[in-house]
Amino acid sequence: MKQIFSKLNFFTNGEGFTNITNDLNLFIQNNGFNSGIINLTSLHTSCSLTINENADPNVLKDLKKFMKSLVPSNCYNSLSREREVIYYEHFQEGEDDMPAHIKTALTNTNLCLSFQEGEIILGTWQAIYLWEHRFSQKERSISVHIIGEKSSNIYNDK
C-alpha cells in the first residue's frame, strides 16, 4: 500500500459545475496507481464536491437554480408556520458569500472514492463535479490523496 499527496487547481467561472472526473483519473494513472482510494477535500468553504448526472445539461442547470432558490442572496423565507423573512448577518464579503457557505454545508466538501484499474468506480451516468457557489471567477484547490496499490495483484470478487 502506497500513498501520494497532491493538490489540483481548477478555475471556475461563477456559479456552476466543473467536471473534474478526467483530471482525477489522469492523476491516478500518471502516478502509476492501479487500485485504492482517492480522497478529495475541497480546501474552500464556498464551493463543493458533488457527484451527479453527466448527460442532459439541464440537470445541472436545474440543480444550480434549485440551490439558488433554496439559499437566496440577502434574505430568505423561513419554512416555519410564520414564514418570517430572515436577513444574513454575515454580508461583508458580498451577497453571494453567506449563501455559498450554506450551500457548502448542504452538500459535500469531502469525497472518498474507490478506483480499480486506474479508474474511479462510477455509474454510467455519473461524473464528479467541483460545484462553485460564488458569482465571480475563482481558482479552487482540491487536496488529492491516494492510498493504494501500484500493481494489479489484488483479489477481485465478482
Site residues for a second copy, 16-35, by CB under 8 A, read: 31, 35
Could you say which of 12, 36, 132, 134 contacts a second copy (CB under 8 A)? 36
Torsion over CA: 98, 100, 101, 107 (sign): positive
Q: How many CA atoms lie within 13 A of 113 on its CB side?
A: 25
Q: Which amino acid is at 115?
A: F
Rg of the chain, C-alpha, whole Å: 18
Query: What's the closest the beta carbon of residue 138 comes to a second copy, in angstroms?
Result: 12
Could you say which of 51, 118, 119, 135 contacts a second copy (CB under 8 A)? 51
Q: Pick from 132, 108, 142: which is nearest to 13 by CA?
A: 132
Query: What's the closest the beta carbon of residue 111 comes to a second copy, in angstroms?
Result: 5
Query: What's the closest the beta carbon of residue 16 comes to a second copy, in angstroms?
Result: 13
Site residues for a second copy, 55-114, by CB under 8 A, read: 56, 58-59, 61-63, 65-67, 69-81, 83-86, 88-90, 92, 98, 101-102, 104-114
Residue 5 binds a second copy (CB under 8 A): yes
Give the DSSP letter string of 1-44.
-EEEEEEEEEEEESSEEEE-HHHHHHHHHHTT--EEEEEEEES-
Query: What's the closest the beta carbon of residue 136 comes to a second copy, in angstroms?
Result: 17
Grid coordinates belonging to 16: 456552476
Residue 151 binds a second copy (CB under 8 A): no
Query: Of 13 and 45, which CB lies nearer to a second copy in the complex structure?
Result: 45
Query: Of 17 and 137, which CB lies nearer to a second copy in the complex structure?
Result: 17
Torsion, Cα of 18, 22, 25, 27 (10° steps):
-80
